[in-house]
Amino acid sequence: MRRFFFSVFSVPFLLSFVSCTMQEKALYSWYDYDNAAYKYQKELTDNSKAAFMTQMDKMEKQRGQRGIVPPGYNAEYGFLLYNSGQAEKGLQYMKKEVELYPESQLFIGGIIKRLEQ
């Protein structure tokens, strides 16, 4: 009876333990994006904007499994640059978003058209 109890409960436990310890590399490197974005949206000061821009620059150096920036990165960074007075560079980033993620054409393409007018 002990052997049965041991085999019935220990094997699933060991299998679950092994599966939990094997970690795959993340698709994208987010660094500390969520905290920087929250702080920027909460405070809306020049300092929080500068910190957020620095964070966005960091994200451009991807160490994730895909090796490219996450979806929406180029669009958000481009819009930030556009609003900071760097219109041409901002539009380039938005167009790069559509190149990397063609499914964003419907939404980002409309924004690009409006900003180019």
Domain boundaries, the chain: 24-116
Q: Which residue, among 105, 64, 60, has the nearest Cα to 80 in the 3D structure?
A: 60
Q: Which residue, among 102, 110, 28, 26, has the nearest Cα to 67 in the 3D structure?
A: 28
**CA pair distance 78, 101, nearest whole angstrom:** 15
Q: Which residue has the tokens 């949206």?
A: 41
Q: The pTM is what?
A: 0.75
**CA pair distance 75, 70, nearest whole angstrom:** 10
Q: Which fold has domain 24-116?
A: 1.25.40
Residues 6+ apart with CB under 8 A from 89: 78, 81
Residues 6+ apart with CB under 8 A from 69: 28, 59, 60, 62, 100
Predicted confidence pLDDT, tens digits, the chain (117 residues): 566 555 556 666 655 665 555 567 888 888 888 898 999 999 989 898 898 999 998 888 888 888 899 999 999 999 999 999 999 999 999 999 999 999 999 999 999 999 998
